[in-house]
Amino acid sequence: MDISMKSIVATSFPELTIPAQAGVGLKAAHFQDILNKRHCVSWFEVHPENYMGAGGAPHHNLGLIRQDYPLSLHGVGLSIGADRALDKDHLARLKLLNERYEPDLFSEHLAWSTHDAGYLNDLLPVPYTEETLRIVVEHVDQFQNVLGRQILLENPSTYVLFEHSTMSEIDFMTSIAKQSGCGLLLDINNVFVSATNHNYSAGDYLQAYPMAVVQELHLGGHAPDEDEAGRPLLIDAHDRNVDDEVWALYAQVIEQTGPIATLVEWDNDVPTFDVLQNEAALANTILGTNTKYGAIA
């Protein structure tokens, strides 16, 4: 482990619970907008890989925000679906950040991104087989034991299907939760992207999903494209507003479940903060909740 990481120590923060309201992904460009508190966002989600140094301005600002807002940590680099051991240094860094910022929720992706000694800057899908299920459950168990807490696992967006898969994605996610005791993070845009790419009903998928173990929802924008045969192909781009069809699916889910903490993701071509908070306000309207800081002027 980088010796600088050993200097990270836990900081005492207020015990804050993420409400069943809308949050947004935390971006460094928006720190000042957030600290002025004139907005309708109730909580923030952070990619821990952006905070693995020991100090500096990012940690200073994140600490100020954590004093007033609950946080969710949403990992993108653990490669929990890989057919190889989890990186112990990466696990140790995640543990330190969990202890330092005491997030209310901690999540990871069902994906792999490592091969041999290399790291692939992508979240790649896994086949839905008993062998992959065993590997993922073992990795989730290990991760939860290292952190000393439950994690949430996010459903993927997919562009290809594996011929040797032996179970559905829903059965696979349900089995992971049941065998490991983890919760689930349901990304509704991922459902719509995958359903469009593979020609099945996103609405039917959501009706069958194990909502009882879903603790967080994600919304995001996707980019339209087409495959080599000219068929529609959606890319989970996180670079634009949430699509109207995804908003409709979100409303369907909330009607099924009642309010659940909802995160608006926007990771590429990041806009000004007012655009993000307006997306959060739309989510709060569907949630039917009043936020701590009120509506946007």
Q: Count up the domains in the chain and report the number.
A: 1
Residue 13 lies in a domain: no
Residue 48 lies in a domain: yes
Helix, strand, or coil here: 11? Answer: coil
Residue 184 lies in a domain: yes
CB 66 within 8 A of CB 101: yes
In one-letter notation, the amino acid at residue 146 is: V
Residue 281 lies in a domain: yes
Residue 73 lies in a domain: yes
Task: Give the largest Cα separation in the chain, rounded.
Answer: 56
> Alpha-carbon distance 143 to 81, whole Å?
12
Residue 292 lies in a domain: no
Q: Which residue segment(s) compose the domain that 209 sits in?
A: 3-8+19-287
Q: Structure tokens of 40? A: 């309708």
Q: Structure tokens of 253? A: 């889910």
Residue 296 lies in a domain: no
> Alpha-carbon distance 206 to 146, whole Å?
31
> The domain spanning residue 132 has which CATH number?
3.20.20.150
Query: What single DSSP character describes residue 166?
Result: -
What does the pLDDT look like over 130-172, one tens digit per residue?
999 999 999 999 999 999 999 999 999 888 777 788 999 999 9
Question: Taking 50 as the threshold, does the pLDDT of residue 76 lie above it?
Answer: yes
Residue 248 lies in a domain: yes
**H helices present in the chain, as ranges:** 31-35, 57-68, 88-101, 130-147, 169-180, 188-198, 202-208, 244-257, 273-287
Record the pTM: 0.90
What does the pLDDT look like over 237-285, one tens digit per residue?
999 999 999 999 999 999 999 999 999 999 999 999 999 999 999 999 9
